[in-house]
């Protein structure tokens, strides 16, 4: 008799019973009150690109499917636009839940569903840590080095250059030391 969790060679699904409580504690959001009306999903501008829809993310959390939800593409495709949050009749801040899932994806060493988006995210944060605000040209250079994709998006880069949107010298803020200290404090936990 095969293990019940293993079906025709598929990876075993092992729910984590306290995952819902853990997520609710970390986010302060009452995910257990989601009753799957799909208003979040119906308003999400990026649902077409997601492998798991926002209301399905809520259901997976309720079921304790930690690995499955953390390795979904959705947590990295979500643009934090908050449309879902404003539409939820149960006042669940779904965008914030996605933030927590992204953070856990990195901290818990789960392979991300969208590795390039993670590289972009890291390049963005590095740039903000260094300059106190994003320096686009430096950020793109860091992203290209991390992905080794040196020639993709060249057309867009040229258009941005022509419109004067690409600076070659960073415009750092005065309080960048304080911004850096915030990043370092967060890193030390």
Least distance (Å) from ligand SF4 to the CB of residue 77?
A: 7
Q: Give the residue with the Cβ less far from ligand SF4, 84 or 118.
A: 84
Residues 179 and 186: their CA atoms lie apart, in Å, by: 11
- Residues 68-107 interacting with ligand SF4 (rule: CB under 6 A): 78-84, 87-90, 92, 94-95, 98
Least distance (Å) from ligand SF4 to the CB of residue 116?
A: 17
- Residue choice 39, 129, 144, 180 for contact with ligand SF4 (CB under 6 A): 39
Contacts of 175 (CB under 8 A, 6+ apart): 132
Q: Give the residue with the Cβ less far from ligand SF4, 83 or 127.
A: 83
Number of Cβ atoms within 10 Å of the Cβ of 64: 19
Single out the segment in contact with ligand SF4 by CB under 6 A; choices: 15-23, 32-40, 100-108, 141-149: 32-40
What's the angle, vertex CA 127, arms to CA 99 and CA 163, rounded to 5? 105
How many residues touch ligand SF4 under the rule CB under 6 A: the total is 27
Q: Give the residue with the Cβ less far from ligand SF4, 77 or 110.
A: 77
x/- string (CB under 6 A) for ligand SF4, residues 42-61?
--x-x-------xx--x---
Q: Give the residue with the Cβ less far from ligand SF4, 98 or 135.
A: 98
**Using the rule CB under 6 A, is 34 a contact of ligand SF4?**
yes
Residues 43 and 86: their CA atoms lie apart, in Å, by: 10
**Using the rule CB under 6 A, is 20 a contact of ligand SF4?**
no
Binding site for ligand SF4 (CB under 6 A): 34-40, 44, 46, 54-55, 58, 78-84, 87-90, 92, 94-95, 98
């Amino acid at each position: 008799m095969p293990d019940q969790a293993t079906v025709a060679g598929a990876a075993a699904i092992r729910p984590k019973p306290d995952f819902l409580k853990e997520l609710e504690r970390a986010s302060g959001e009452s995910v257990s009150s989601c009753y799957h009306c799909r208003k979040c999903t119906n308003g999400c501008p990026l649902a077409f690109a997601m492998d798991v829809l926002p209301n399905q993310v809520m259901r997976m959390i309720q079921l304790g499917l930690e690995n499955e939800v953390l390795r979904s593409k959705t947590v990295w495709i979500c643009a934090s636009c908050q449309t879902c949050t404003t539409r939820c009749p149960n006042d669940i801040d779904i965008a914030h839940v996605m933030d927590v899932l992204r953070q856990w994806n990195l901290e818990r060493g789960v392979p991300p569903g969208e590795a390039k988006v993670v590289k972009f995210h890291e390049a963005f944060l590095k740039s903000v840590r260094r300059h106190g605000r994003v320096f686009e040209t430096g950020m793109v250079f860091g992203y290209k080095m991390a992905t080794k994709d040196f020639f993709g998006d060249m057309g867009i880069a040229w258009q941005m250059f022509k419109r004067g949107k690409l600076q070659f010298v960073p415009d750092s803020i005065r309080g960048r030391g304080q911004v850096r200290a915030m990043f370092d404090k967060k890193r030390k936990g």
